[in-house]
């Protein structure tokens, strides 16, 4: 696996692990809603939380 893909995979794994905490998941979703007016950003965040 290329280095950048490995880094992305590590980041995603760490993110999913962090989002297993309900308080972290709530904060993550709130930030996605507040920081962007693009629905796609929130949907990606929601997918990450669902994966966790």
Q: CA 3, CA 13: separation in Å to the nearest integer?
A: 15
Judge contact between 18 and 31, C-beta under 8 A: no
Which segments within the chain are labelled E, that is strand?
none
Per-residue model confidence (pLDDT) at position 30: 96
- Say whether pTM exceeds 0.85: no
Q: What percentage of the chain reaches a pLDDT higher than 70?
A: 88
The string of pLDDT tens digits covering residues 22-34 is 999 999 999 999 9
Q: What percentage of the chain reaches a pLDDT higher than 90?
A: 73
Per-residue model confidence (pLDDT) at position 8: 73
Per-residue model confidence (pLDDT) at position 37: 87
Question: Which residue is associated with the tokens 């996605």?
Answer: 32
42: number of Cβ within 10 Å: 17
Judge contact between 16 and 48, C-beta under 8 A: yes
């Amino acid at each position: 696996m290329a280095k950048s893909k490995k880094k992305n995979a590590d980041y995603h794994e760490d993110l999913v692990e962090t989002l297993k905490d309900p308080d972290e998941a709530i904060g993550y979703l709130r930030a996605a809603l507040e920081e962007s007016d693009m629905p796609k950003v929130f949907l990606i965040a929601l997918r990450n939380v669902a994966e966790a």
